[in-house]
Amino acid sequence: MKIESILMVEQFRFPKTKKNRIIKKWCKDKKNWRPMITFAHMANGSVICHPVVAERISSVIAKQEREIFNRINSTRTGMFYR
């Protein structure tokens, strides 16, 4: 599985007024934005997500692969596998 990371953010704070001048001002402020910690797209064996999520997914996949590798190697203790 290929994991692609793209900085994805969403605006979570909005002004109470509907005036375009204030809306533009709020859009420029970084305090009003937060990273999206969800999958954006998953197709053709690749996952496109936020870099934080990509690190978490990579670490979980690596941990599972190590467990599977250790399980396979622990069963190969017979005289033919030495």
**What's the average pLDDT block by block, 10 residues per block, for the chain (82 residues)?**
73 90 90 78 76 85 87 66 52
The structure's pTM equals 0.53
Show the tokens assigned to 5. 């990371």
Q: Which of 61, 44, 65 is nearest to 53 (CA)?
A: 61
Q: Which of 21, 36, 30 is nearest to 13 (CA)?
A: 30
Domain ranges of the chain: 2-81
Task: Please state whether beta strands 41-43 and 9-11 pair in parallel, antiparallel, or not at all (unpaired).
Answer: unpaired
Opening angle at CA 7, ends 27 and 24, nearest 5: 10
